[in-house]
Structure 1
């Protein structure tokens, strides 16, 4: 049915409809509070989004009043003012993060309270049969209005999405340009619904996924606790996170996407911390040398610093670097020995070799590089060479 072209002729018995409408409008304040209570009790998103109750009361009262007027007038289509208000309301709730289906359901919850009140008010009347057509017309009015609310919600979502895209681009630019003041970084974070003074952690990987896959990553991250934004830049993908409960869950989502190795920064605070964490993540990714998995700056920061230092420190490691490149089995022995707490037995099990084999490889490494992995300095230098090799 095209609600915009529905018959607009008044009801056959406008006096009865007008009488009931007047009764309802006289009790409008109580009706609106009752309807708002039921909306919050029955639709979780109207509580979980922390919507101000006064705002909900005001909108419920406005639309109940408009619907009751439609009942008294026996009409189905909304007035221009009602249509404009419905679209604005839909856009507002979209900005609040309330799903469209919940917004439209709230109208039926609210007007169900009205129909129940009508039942009580008409208990002593003998013209209920005459009022039924008017009530049916009012339900069509509700359908008409909710269609306008849905249109406004779609428009609001589109505007909010575009605003987030613009804010995301600005954030990506600000992260790469130290000349951008922290105040602008603060504003960009705020527009993406972050607390600019809160704690952040950033993850980075080389850009390989298409836009559709990145949207899927964003959606999966949003399924759990925390706030996230995925920034898609020409050279890399950056994930900004706040209020997450488990970095392991975030990193599992990133690895499941198959987009390649991930660098994870430290948890840092405020706009300056966002810049610090992305630098951490980039250094960790670089130190990971393209190996699969998540490379956490917290775990490999010494090697990340060595890699970041460039040619100034690499000459100190030249012989060990060359040995690691030419003898990957020796490099793996060094890595596993370090990662398993200097335990030959545990490292051998990880490599699926005999303990004597691992001991031989460590001795051979010492022979070729002059670095004894059984000493702190020798192991640290050897591990740095392995990570850079």
Structure 2
């Protein structure tokens, strides 16, 4: 306590007026609780995760405990701490963020304290208001001990829940990687993890994460609509989602690890589809660059499929590497030509170039690579070579 703190209560003092005030407010709690609950849910939107009736019951019990403690000038009892620990575990299971749980206790205790102050007459020398102010230390003891017990139980429950979920996730991913999605226990595992086995799955992959990063990501995704399970698998972090947009997962990942390379798979149905979309996402990840946009398999499937064969394809496609490195404007024009209907004028408008400049650059590309982009063999070789070179399939190349 600082020098400005109110004096400690004396056991010889007559506390009957304060006891009468607390008893009167306690009798009105069934009506007051609705307003206090409204305020908590207004200030802490995450509480929409908690059923209203259950929330009101918890607020009522906490307010009753505080009022009883003020009457007897005591802190929380062991039984009251046991109850709040149970509440902390339940809020963890409901997916409520810990900071929201703690904030709710502060708001609830603040509201009941303001009700007491408004009725106590703090300016009355002989009224209960003066005594109430001297019990600030008791109220703070309640806030500290109750929130501490709730947070401890919440974290214990979260760790246990994460351990069970992570074990199931590893088993599920192992089955998918082993290409045994049709095994009977795979459907049971999927249901245990919250998936509909016959539903649509999509995978999102990134380089492997730390355990702390994965724990934070799981917590964020658990608060979203849909199902998302993630774990490291070899050098990759794999998230398999259902009923959740890939963009939601990507945003959560990039919020935690900015500039993260990310690949996404096709949305595929059933457990065989879950296995296939992981392969999609890992193939797309091979093309993703640090800080660049996430690479979707459906937009890069050809280069992603050919990337593992880059060594075999190098004699055919490596002619793109040197010219692209030395003359990036040529590579840009080749891509622009393919993206704009193979029209010189449309490509010029898109790249802010004169059509004759576009024509010159395409001819120069042909001279350097031997590929004529006006033909299917030349265009396909150019685009595949550029795509694989950009992904680093052919290794570093001298720009000189």
Partner Cα separation in structure 2 for residue 176 and residue 378 of structure 1: 42
**Does structure 2 retain, via aligned residues, the 8 Å contact 1:264–1:280?**
yes
Does the aligned pair in 2 maintain the 1:218–1:229 contact within 8 Å?
Answer: no
- Please give the alpha-carbon distance, in whole angstroms, between the structure 2 residues aligned to 1:291 and 1:24: 60
| 1:79 aligned to which of 67, 77, 97 | 77
TM-score normalised by structure 2 residue count = 0.68
Cα displacement (A) at 1:60: 1.6
* Residue of structure 2 in register with 1:154 after alignment: 151
* Contact 2:204/2:240, CA 8 A, preserved across alignment: yes
Establish whether residue 185 from structure 1 lines up as the match of residue 190 from structure 2.
Answer: yes
The answer to whether the Cα contact below 8 Å between 1:82 and 1:145 also exists between their aligned partners in 2 is no
**8 Å Cα contact 1:86/1:148 also seen in 2:** no
Aligned length: 357
Q: What is the alpha-carbon distance in structure 1 between the residues aligned to residue 11 and residue 169 of structure 2?
A: 56
- Describe the shift of the 1:384–1:133 C-alpha distance in structure 2 as closer, same or farther (beyond 3 A): same
Question: Cα–Cα, structure 1 residues 21 and 101, in superposed 2: closer, same or farther, change >3 Å?
Answer: closer
Partner of 1:105: 106
Query: How far apart, CA to CA, are the structure 1 residues paired with 2:33 and 2:334?
Result: 72
CA distance in 2, matches of 1:292, 1:114: 53
| Residues 199, 268 of structure 1: 8 Å contact kept | yes
* CA RMSD in angstroms, aligned pairs only: 4.7
Could you tell me how far apart the structure 1 residues matched to 2:141 and 2:233 are?
43
Distance in 2 (CA, whole Å) between partners of 1:140 and 1:334 is 74
Counterpart of 2:62?
A: 63
Q: Secondary structure at the match of 1:77?
A: coil
| SS of residue paired to 2:295 | strand
Alignment check: 8 A CA contact 2:323 2:365 kept: yes
Change (3 A) 1:138 1:302: same
Cα 1:232–1:378 change in 2 (3 A) is: same
Cα distance in 2 between the residues matched to 1:97 and 1:205: 27
Q: By how many angstroms is 1:246 displaced?
A: 4.2
The aligned counterpart of 1:31 is 32
| Structure 2: runs of 5 or more not aligned | 2-6, 325-330, 389-393, 395-400
Which string of whole-angstrom CA distances, capped at 9 and with x for unpartnered residues, describes residues 239-262 of structure 1? Answer: 455634847973993897345x43
Structure 2 partner of 1:322: 315
Cα distance in 2 for residues equivalent to 1:378 and 1:255 = 42
Determine the structure 2 residue equivalent to 1:355.
359
Per the alignment, in what secondary structure is the counterpart of residue 204 of structure 1? strand
Q: What is the rounded CA distance, in whole Å, between the counterparts of 1:341 and 1:196 in structure 2?
A: 42
- Distance in 2 (CA, whole Å) between partners of 1:196 and 1:128 is 70
CA 1:16–1:175: 2 relative to 1, 3 Å? same
In 1, the alpha carbon distance for the partners of 2:245 and 2:130 equals: 54
Contiguous gaps of at least 5 residues in structure 1: none
- State the distance in 1 between where 2:319 and 2:370 align: 15
TM-score by length of 1: 0.69
Change (3 A) 1:82 1:235: same
Distance across 2 between alignment mates of 1:117 and 1:255: 45
Report the Cα distance in structure 2 between the residues aligned to 1:64 and 1:114, rounded to whole angstroms. 11
Q: What does residue 4 of structure 2 align with?
A: none
Cα gap change, 1:69 to 1:50, in 2 (>3 Å): same
Between the aligned partners of 1:66 and 1:289, the Cα distance in structure 2 is 56
What is the rounded CA distance, in whole Å, between the counterparts of 2:156 and 2:103 in structure 1? Answer: 18
Q: SS state of the match for residue 78, structure 1?
A: coil
Per-residue CA distance 1:175-228 (angstroms, 9 max, x = gap): 24233603313323x3xxx88887654322344x6566x469949987x98776
Q: How does 1:176-215 map to 2 (within 5 A)?
A: 176-178=174-176, 179=180, 181-188=186-193, 190=194, 201-207=202-208, 214=213
Do the aligned residues in 1 keep the contact of 2:203 with 2:238 (CA within 8 Å)? yes
Output the CA distance in 2 between the equivalents of 1:344 and 1:217: 50
Distance 1:297 1:41, change over 3 A: closer
